[in-house]
Copies of this chain bind each other. A is one copy, B any other.
Amino acid sequence: MKVLVLGADGYLGWPTTMYFSGKGHDVVAVDNYFRRTEAHALECEALVPNPDLEERAALWEKVSGNTIQVYIGDITDYGFLRNIFETVQPDAVIHYAEQPSAPYSMMDRDRAAFTVHNNLIGTLNIVYAVKEVSPECHIIKLGTMGEYGTPDIDIEEGWIDIEHKGRKDTFLFPRQASSLYHTTKIQDTDLLWFYIRTWGLRVTDLMQGPVYGLSTEEADRDLRLMPHFSYDEIFGTVLNRFVVQAVAEYPLTVYGKGNQTRGYLNLKDTMQCVYLSATQPANRGELRIFNQVTETFSVNELAQKVKKVGNGLGYDVQLNNIDNPRIEKEDHYYNPVYTGLLELGLEPHYLTDDVIGSMFSIVDTYKDNIKRDAIFKGVSWK
């Protein structure tokens, strides 16, 4: 299979690139280094400096014998993306190339406008490149569970049957998110769903919860192949942040009451989910949606787990329930369905104390890199 990974330098992009390459597929990696550049500008670089994409591809070739072709450029430039499609003729495109941070999207007008433009024009360009160059190509788009928000009804996998005044129809499950970033993911679904119906594209939308972890089978072969691991408020996900905070003995920043509940998954399971989706593609004209999580936790539960493991390892882990900088419900119903990927073959890695302990171990190796100032800056939704 020829696979195009867009956003290949990122937390998920690089491990995905290696995962497919390791299984013998022809992988082409594309990135514009947005995350690196902005993390540097905002002084919240990854815990471990990552070699650039070309260096990582060369390293990977040494350890695996497999070649990864790299293109550095911006997919909002249609000519750039279209040329890659013409050269590669991909069977699948994995679209991670969106601005992925909720706080970043809330910082100011310019970053909000960047998020809207980048995420929607990037997605539109993929649609056009597929239509004009590779109409059979399967688009795997990373969505987010955050699109659904926290409704008072069970969250189905993307679709819902509605009975109203004695008549029935099936619709996209209602979406209302609590950041601009998450809202652009609703909007890219609107966009894809329109073109799927109009041009018969095949699309899988992976509604992913926050991911944790920094270990994959491929990354573990050489520390320089580690994913881009952010621990700051802007680009870091919650469990990863908490482990770094615990190692730094910086009280865990629990927002508000901490009863906010979400679905989570291990980085290794993201790899599986994307791979299972690629090898069992959606049909032409289908928008196939999976809720990509393996278990749900409240923020308090995560903090308690990290505290327990950290204390056991001898760290002084404190919790700090700070004023919530976000606007979100702190007490709410949350019951998502997530059986579709299990049916495709997903074998989950659950969040055990051992998993958290091994995260502590890697983070501790790099604890001198931790910048305490990067951990919490208080980007406010107001």
Contact (Cβ within 8 A) B152 A128: no
A interface bracket (residues with beta carbon within 8 Å of B):
35 or more
Contact (Cβ within 8 A) A117 B121: yes
* Identity of the chain B residue whose Cβ is nearest the Cβ of A131 in the assembled complex: B109
Residues in B whose Cβ lies below 8 Å from that of A382: 199
Contact (Cβ within 8 A) B121 A116: yes
Contact (Cβ within 8 A) A333 B167: yes
Chain B nearest CB from A249 CB (Å) reads: 34
Contact (Cβ within 8 A) A128 B153: no
Residue of B117, B168, B176, B381 touching A171 (CB-CB under 8 A) = B176
Q: Is A193 an interface residue (CB 8 A)?
A: yes
Contact (Cβ within 8 A) A164 B168: no
Interface residues of A in 178-226 (CB under 8 A from B): 178-180, 183, 186-187, 190-191, 193-195, 197-199
A381 to B131, CA, bound (A): 12
A382 to B195, CA, bound (A): 10
Q: Is A327 an interface residue (CB 8 A)?
A: yes
Chain B nearest CB from A127 CB (Å) reads: 9
Contact (Cβ within 8 A) B153 A113: no
Residues in B whose Cβ lies below 8 Å from that of A153: 162-165, 167-169
Contact (Cβ within 8 A) A183 B194: yes
A168 to B164, CA, bound (A): 13
Contact (Cβ within 8 A) B187 A190: yes
Chain B nearest CB from A234 CB (Å) reads: 18
- Among A116, A128, A165, A168, find the residue whose CB has the most chain B CB atoms closer than 10 A: A116
Contact (Cβ within 8 A) B162 A172: no
A34 to B79, CA, bound (A): 25
A172 to B162, CA, bound (A): 13
Q: Is A120 an interface residue (CB 8 A)?
A: yes
Residue of B113, B177, B178 touching A78 (CB-CB under 8 A) = B113
A190 to B190, CA, bound (A): 10
Known: A112-B124, A153-B163, A154-B165. 9 other contacts (CB 8 A): A78-B110, A153-B167, A153-B168, A153-B169, A171-B174, A171-B176, A178-B198, A180-B195, A183-B191
